[in-house]
Amino acid sequence: MTSETYEIFYEVTQEDIDLGSRSEPQSCPVARSLQRRYDYASIGTFTGTVGVDRASRMKYLDLEHSPETVRFINNFDNRRAVRPGTFSSYITERTD
């Protein structure tokens, strides 16, 4: 198995915030942004191993959010004020 870890950056927009769902890893603002930015049909925003559906091909990623991203997700889920901005996560693509 080979893998490479890299940092990704993505924009969370006001629309992502307005249309995002609290405590729903597949439809929170960060997930919406990742889906749009990386053309994923489905992705969850929890940290750990995540299955993503990309063009009907399932692949698995190890996902770790930056501290700022975790803070944003927690604030959003707890109904605290959040703002649009650039966020980052670390992804390791798993290949078997």
Yes or no: say if 12 and 84 are a contact pair by the CB < 8 Å rule.
yes
pLDDT above 60 for 93: yes
Bigger pLDDT: 53 vs 73: 73
Convert 27-42 to b/e letters by CB count within 10 Å (16 or more is b): bbbbbbbbbeeeebee
Domain ranges, ordered by start, for the chain: 2-95
Lowest mean pLDDT among 35-44, 51-60, 75-84: 51-60
- The gap between the terminal CA atoms of the chain, to the nearest Å, is 5
**pTM, to two decimals:** 0.79
